[in-house]
Structure 1
């Protein structure tokens, strides 16, 4: 009987197993379908995470999926996976055992739907750092939630603060950096007494911080910055003794730090900058764990507590723009890896603390605009990590320690407006990263060392009002990045170096009030970027070089020298009338005031012999002209009248598309009457071919093959032996291989010995700038503007993500977005474009590339160039499309369009829809306002927070306007032209 019993027992167990598998398998099958739906919604993602997600695999084996003991899906962990698409909340909230959804730091779009309320078992929800749109649904059903992050998720509107009352298990709450509607400080949060992390920065919260904030005694991290908070810091905050991080910056808080603030003994980072706080900071003297202290731009006063010198963890301190007095603690920075101090614009006195670089980690010393005295401590000569050393506008004196001139990582050395003395030593040649040197208004003396040319990153040199002497070293011509050079008010002598004409980036040259003699070098006139030239109050002689006629000067001062001869016509204008006074030998044929005419009616009568010689010369020239005309008429080439170009056999055509025309037909059409635009490099012509096809031809002049012009000097824009302009190289290299419907088509290039021709498709509707801000020939309701925005975005997306190597345009603006006959956009003008190198490095530039109003803010402090700079510029274009406003307008004051939009939407009661161009029909204004929120995302100051162009395209596709029916379209179309 034993075998029978065993057999029966096994049968019984088998039946039980089958019973439970019948219960489990359908659920597993359902969950599989849910996850496959999630995968299909994100199928465009550039991620390998879904390689394991297949119907032949168990969901519990999917990458990023965690199951419970019953093989039910408990967690979806897919942060930082480059996910693109929408989240099917209705599906994933049907997963009954789901406790965790982590989708942060992706590129998800769409709404966070009301179906989220069905995820009732959720304990962890992270949707932050995405690009969702719309509002946040009611969260009151998620009572088990412990972790909630919607930070920088893209949501907007009215947040359901009331629903937080039910989420009493929350320990982590992050809702910041979203465009919520203004709301008083949400008191519901004060009931969440388990919170250790609260992030509400940039959440449109206004009013006062409530005293009851002290109820959240478990808080370790509290951020309430960039809101509309006012009043005093409440005493209740002193009860949060576990706080390690407290951020209150960019509000309007006032009053003193409350008594008892020193109770926050665990505080490691305190930032209350850009408020209206006042009084002293004695309450902070017991915060011995502080590592970061940011209190700049307040109204604080008194002395810095001497105890700060004993803070062993202090790394950064920033107190600029306050009213502090007294000396800095002399031991400050001597106990730790001190990195940065900025106490500019105060009333500090006494010596510079000597040991702030004791640990060799110091990066920034910013002490400008105070009353510091004494010398620069010798200890800083060994501070090899130092990047910025700025002590201008103080009362410092003595010689500069020689090794400071040559610190290897120094980018800014600012010693101006002090009483320093002694020379600039040869050590400066070792400062390979030095870009800005400010020494004005001191007592420096001696010669400028020739080794200054070894500091090859120099862009700005200001040595004004010192006692420098000797000749200007000719080696300065090797500083190819130099844009501003001020040597005025010194004792320099000798000739102006011809080599300055090789400083191809030079914008300002001021050598006034020295003892320079000799002639003005003709090479200065060939500096393409020179805008301001001041050589006044010297001993210069000879003629003014004709080459200055080709420069683009807005300021010219040659007064009080010994110059003579005729002033070149192009600069002999009344606007420069004061530029030549004090030079009795100068004359002008233009009749400008303060100058004598070059020829008088009574003088210089010709002798008979001279007249005969002149007559013979004229006759000879006349005969030569007749011979040349005869040769031209005998030439086989036809129809060359009015053509400024050379013979046909001198042209070289390179085609990038199949052509139906030759170079002769293009060249002969380049007449003055066909000019439709002018730029910095040449003219643009409209060419109509015999077949009726229209082209746009950009004509770019170039130098001869030696790199020299007719005056025999080398142009700073070209290297010896090179005949192309940088703009031409960039444009051809970029466009010749690009094939995209939203990038302008380059048919061919035609080159000769002195010219380049780039032949493009012709865009009959001009540029987006023209249509928005000048001619406005075509009515552009939102449906038209949206298609322009989307098309241009796709063109930039292709440049950034679709080419073999990413192309950074660097000059994205509405005037570089051209419109065809159907108002379809083309990205154009690639003269500043950069192709990312194969190693993927984006690099930096030391020349500001782009157009004011469109330039990304990182150019100002880092000169960094990458795709996110184009994204910023495109965000400005989106704002133009939505608002109809220019990037800069007088009623913006000192702001630009980006600041005006952001301040209006995020810092006032006004809603985005109120900024929409009034010419856009009311039924489409809400759609336009959605694009304005995308524009705001594109123009975030921090580049890494901006979306990629791929993401911008997805976001724009997600807010496509609801098109009217066909009848309405026809009706609108009849009135589309004004």
Structure 2
């Protein structure tokens, strides 16, 4: 025993001294530890050799959760230690499971001295450094799981020397380089998972030599563009083949049809072309096929589907497939069918209604015609139905759609459906999202449908519905958006509408509503948009609208409202759009309107009188006041003769007083004034002559008009790179002007533009990037103005403020990384778009580079702001930012100390899911952050609408796996 201990200490010391990942102090720690063990054994302790090996693991790891606390060196053997399993006969260690133990440190090579260790799992920890080549010393290993760690470098080629290895999972690390060529020599390997690493090169053909493989998962690696190796068809034992997001191109090889035992095939998120090969219909064991988001063309195989008796889930969405949906396919017992965003045409086969398990049907954005199967839903527990944006032109909604009571979403917008809504849908208590807009529906809406308790979106716009809003709407406690414009609804708006505490949008324009607005409507504290224009509503606006603290848009135009415009409107500080035109309002315009930064104001065609508030008494607002004969202001053409004469008398009286008072003063200053004015004119002429304008769009203004409006009264924002001004031009158009900060501010007494050296990098980058971009979600850069000592960027004006306003902070300049990369600037330093403190991804500190994952991190911070109600940086956090504060607080105090107490606790489950998404997005490792497409879908599913599916890569929970429905609906 003594000799063994000496040899053990000696060998361990040698191993440590050659480990590049350990510091000298840690090596000394190891040596001291083993020295103490040696002396303890000399004093009569009886821990066997395998126990000593396991004790050698402890010093190499940080163990904040104390997972090693039961590993007592006074025990005879380690068989009763936590997470250690021994053979019942030999008492030899055969399994070590340290998964999700929150340990951090290098891979413990000492474990390879456990001669009978067959299973090792370090899944979901912070195992770092490289995986050593001497991993091949673990000769007995059958199961090795190192997924979800921080391992780097190349995958050791020596892994293929493990003679008994059956399960190898290295997913979710940072391994780089190519798959080792030795991997074609595995003799017993059944599972190979390399998901979400940084592997390059093409998917190698030698993988086809590992005939024992049952699961092959190479998804989410940045492989070089290449084809699917036809040799994979040799893996006849394969049950799962996942090549999602592997940069694949070319056709799907026919050889895959030879995989007779295949259960799950996932080739999504690639650039595969050509038709779906008919050989795939020979996969008689397959349950799930994922082909979404490729460039596949042609028609689906017309026959052969009857061979696939076990097929339950098919997703071929987001391709360019044509032809009809095969009747033979729809005769299978499908559970989920996703064919959206293709070019399918013809009728939807009636056989689809016979499937006893169909829960998901998404066919939107195709060219389907005819009607829906009459018995759709009669035999199926339908949960999600989306047939929007097709050419369905006849037939009514099948009354059986919610026969099983499971329906959650029903989307049918942009078709030509007709008839009435079946009364049976009013009993569909789980419905949360209903969109019937842009069809030819008619008749009254069933009373029970108005009051469905879980519906948060009810859209009926652009149809011919009639009747009244039923009082049963009081039961729709979850309703957020009620969109019923462009119909024939009539009668009073019921008082029960004011009971909907969660209502954010009420759009009922272009109907036949009468009577007054119910007094209860002022109780809608969450209301952001109220649009009831073009009805026959009358009476006064009820008092109490000051409670609409979040209202952004009020449109009551073209009704018969009367009385005064409420003074309370001036307290609605978020209000941006106000249209009260075409009514019978009288009295004065409230002066409080000057408190608002309205982007659009229309009070025309009423009976208003008196003076226009000075802020709006400008020519640019003239159209806002036309048709009010009693109004007067310094705008030509608004006053009638009587009021004009009366008001002009007052004006002349005031002018006379000022003239008399001024005579005493003017004699002494006239000379100085004239000289100063001439100097100013000359100076401005010189200054303006120095400006150069570069336009990116057709403009109706020049640089001089911009320069005249850059005063402090027009400042609407200030950030890390400059001030932003709102400039209203003479043509009525509003633009936003960003004046970049200068290096040293020396402002002249005259108030002209600030002087000093300018930060050219930010200006040139922003102009070069945004000037070339045409995208609906990116603010439009109209032009730039430059002078020697100042630079201006002129953007289209976005009237609704910024997301930062809603989050109570100045948001980061994130979201630019992808655009920069698109014009070949991906390798540039992030210093030019560094953004705001708290939003910057941690890898910037050592790479100074940006990519899409940097933007994902920033978006994740926004999500954390939303659920915590806190700023991205705060003195309360100390040296931490919001991300670190959330993680620390979750560990130490729990969930309730993280969530914003102002959030409604009845949505705690959904809030927790958003929190989880935010944490995924802010993962320290960029490779572990989801794509934005996945983030969007996860947020769409937050309400729990999507049925969980089994995770394929051992990395993500089932809820967050990028599954068949991961692309969402255009609806």
Give the TM-score normalised by the residue count of structure 2: 0.63
Alpha-carbon distance, 1:562 to partner? 1.1
Q: Is the 8 A contact 2:868 2:900 kept in 1?
A: no
2: CA distance, partners of 1:457 / 1:494: 26
**2:62 aligned to which of 40, 43, 49:** 43
**1:301 aligned to which of 342, 345, 369:** 345
SS in 2 for 1:389: strand
> Is residue 892 of structure 2 the alignment partner of residue 840 of structure 1?
no
1: CA distance, partners of 2:509 / 2:835: 44
**Which residue of structure 1 aligns with residue 429 of structure 2?**
384
Alpha-carbon distance, 1:137 to partner? 3.8
> Is residue 163 of structure 2 the alignment partner of residue 102 of structure 1?
no
What aligned pairs does 1:629-668 form with structure 2 within 5 A after superposition? none
Going from structure 1 to structure 2, the CA distance change for 1:253 and 1:496 (only over 3 Å counts) comes to same
Alpha-carbon RMSD across the aligned residues, in angstroms, is 5.1
Going from structure 1 to structure 2, the CA distance change for 1:543 and 1:186 (only over 3 Å counts) comes to same
2: CA distance, partners of 1:526 / 1:166: 74
Going from structure 1 to structure 2, the CA distance change for 1:223 and 1:331 (only over 3 Å counts) comes to same
1: CA distance, partners of 2:142 / 2:883: 52
2: CA distance, partners of 1:233 / 1:829: 44
Alpha-carbon distance, 1:202 to partner? 1.1
2: CA distance, partners of 1:834 / 1:120: 43
**Which residue of structure 2 aligns with residue 551 of structure 1?**
596
2: CA distance, partners of 1:936 / 1:374: 43
> Is residue 415 of structure 2 the alignment partner of residue 396 of structure 1?
no
**Which residue of structure 2 aligns with residue 895 of structure 1?**
none
SS in 1 for 2:213: coil
2: CA distance, partners of 1:316 / 1:939: 20
Going from structure 1 to structure 2, the CA distance change for 1:810 and 1:393 (only over 3 Å counts) comes to farther
| 1:627-659 superposed Cα distances (whole Å, 9 cap, x missing partner) | xxxxxxxxxxxxxxxxxxxxxxxxxxxxxxxxx
SS in 2 for 1:98: coil
Alpha-carbon distance, 1:168 to partner? 1.6
**Which residue of structure 2 aligns with residue 951 of structure 1?**
none
2: CA distance, partners of 1:305 / 1:211: 27
**Which residue of structure 2 aligns with residue 145 of structure 1?**
189
What aligned pairs does 1:705-854 form with structure 2 within 5 A after superposition? 772=833, 786=847, 808=868, 840=896
**1:216 aligned to which of 259, 272, 279:** 259
Alpha-carbon distance, 1:163 to partner? 3.8
**Which residue of structure 2 aligns with residue 629 of structure 1?**
none
**Which residue of structure 1 aligns with residue 304 of structure 2?**
260
Going from structure 1 to structure 2, the CA distance change for 1:416 and 1:574 (only over 3 Å counts) comes to same
1: CA distance, partners of 2:655 / 2:233: 103
**Which residue of structure 1 aligns with residue 315 of structure 2?**
271
| 1:537-582 superposed Cα distances (whole Å, 9 cap, x missing partner) | 1111111111111112111111111111111122333442311111
SS in 2 for 1:604: helix
Q: Is the 8 A contact 2:261 2:283 kept in 1?
A: yes
Q: Is the 8 A contact 1:868 1:943 kept in 2?
A: no
Alpha-carbon distance, 1:371 to partner? 1.4
Alpha-carbon distance, 1:55 to partner? 5.3
Q: Is the 8 A contact 1:294 1:319 kept in 2?
A: yes
1: CA distance, partners of 2:349 / 2:844: 62
What aligned pairs does 1:101-120 form with structure 2 within 5 A after superposition? 101-104=144-147, 106-111=148-153, 113-114=155-156, 115-120=158-163
Alpha-carbon distance, 1:120 to partner? 4.0
**Which residue of structure 2 aligns with residue 746 of structure 1?**
none
> Is residue 386 of structure 2 the alignment partner of residue 342 of structure 1?
yes
> Is residue 577 of structure 2 the alignment partner of residue 532 of structure 1?
yes
Alpha-carbon distance, 1:99 to partner? 0.8
**Which residue of structure 1 aligns with residue 561 of structure 2?**
516
**Which residue of structure 2 aligns with residue 869 of structure 1?**
918
> Is residue 935 of structure 2 the alignment partner of residue 941 of structure 1?
yes
Q: Is the 8 A contact 1:573 1:592 kept in 2?
A: no
| 1:562-612 superposed Cα distances (whole Å, 9 cap, x missing partner) | 1111111223334423111111222223x467668987799436999x999
| 1:361-395 superposed Cα distances (whole Å, 9 cap, x missing partner) | 11011111111111111111111111111111111
**Which residue of structure 2 aligns with residue 358 of structure 1?**
403
2: CA distance, partners of 1:202 / 1:369: 32
2: CA distance, partners of 1:112 / 1:76: 25
Alpha-carbon distance, 1:134 to partner? 5.7
2: CA distance, partners of 1:157 / 1:518: 72
| 1:148-197 superposed Cα distances (whole Å, 9 cap, x missing partner) | 12223x33322552341332210011111222222211223222111011
| 1:680-717 superposed Cα distances (whole Å, 9 cap, x missing partner) | 9xxx9xxxxxxxxxxxxxxxxxxxxxxxxxxxxxxxxx
Alpha-carbon distance, 1:517 to partner? 0.7
Alpha-carbon distance, 1:135 to partner? 5.2
> Is residue 252 of structure 2 the alignment partner of residue 196 of structure 1?
no
Q: Is the 8 A contact 1:483 1:508 kept in 2?
A: yes
**Which residue of structure 1 aligns with residue 624 of structure 2?**
579
**Which residue of structure 2 aligns with residue 563 of structure 1?**
608
| 1:400-440 superposed Cα distances (whole Å, 9 cap, x missing partner) | 11111111111111111111110001111110101111111
> Is residue 307 of structure 2 the alignment partner of residue 313 of structure 1?
no
SS in 2 for 1:246: strand
| 1:612-636 superposed Cα distances (whole Å, 9 cap, x missing partner) | 9x99xx9xxxxxxxxxxxxxxxxxx
Going from structure 1 to structure 2, the CA distance change for 1:335 and 1:494 (only over 3 Å counts) comes to same
1: CA distance, partners of 2:636 / 2:86: 88
Going from structure 1 to structure 2, the CA distance change for 1:365 and 1:243 (only over 3 Å counts) comes to same
Going from structure 1 to structure 2, the CA distance change for 1:840 and 1:942 (only over 3 Å counts) comes to farther
1: CA distance, partners of 2:317 / 2:382: 20
Q: Is the 8 A contact 1:161 1:188 kept in 2?
A: no
**Which residue of structure 2 aligns with residue 855 of structure 1?**
none
**Which residue of structure 1 aligns with residue 125 of structure 2?**
83
Going from structure 1 to structure 2, the CA distance change for 1:611 and 1:265 (only over 3 Å counts) comes to closer
What aligned pairs does 1:395-414 form with structure 2 within 5 A after superposition? 395-414=440-459
2: CA distance, partners of 1:469 / 1:863: 43
Gaps (5+ residues) in structure 2? 13-46, 102-123, 662-713, 726-740, 742-803, 810-828, 837-842, 940-971
| 1:336-385 superposed Cα distances (whole Å, 9 cap, x missing partner) | 32211111111122010111211211101111111111111111111111
Gaps (5+ residues) in structure 1? 1-16, 619-671, 685-726, 733-767, 776-781, 819-823, 849-857, 879-930, 946-978
Comparing 311-320 with 276-285, greater Cα deviation is found at 276-285
> Is residue 273 of structure 2 the alignment partner of residue 245 of structure 1?
no
**Which residue of structure 2 aligns with residue 706 of structure 1?**
none
Q: How many pairs were matched up?
A: 705
1: CA distance, partners of 2:636 / 2:912: 43
Q: Is the 8 A contact 1:77 1:102 kept in 2?
A: no
Going from structure 1 to structure 2, the CA distance change for 1:770 and 1:155 (only over 3 Å counts) comes to closer
**1:184 aligned to which of 205, 217, 227:** 227
2: CA distance, partners of 1:42 / 1:459: 52
Give the TM-score normalised by the residue count of structure 1: 0.63
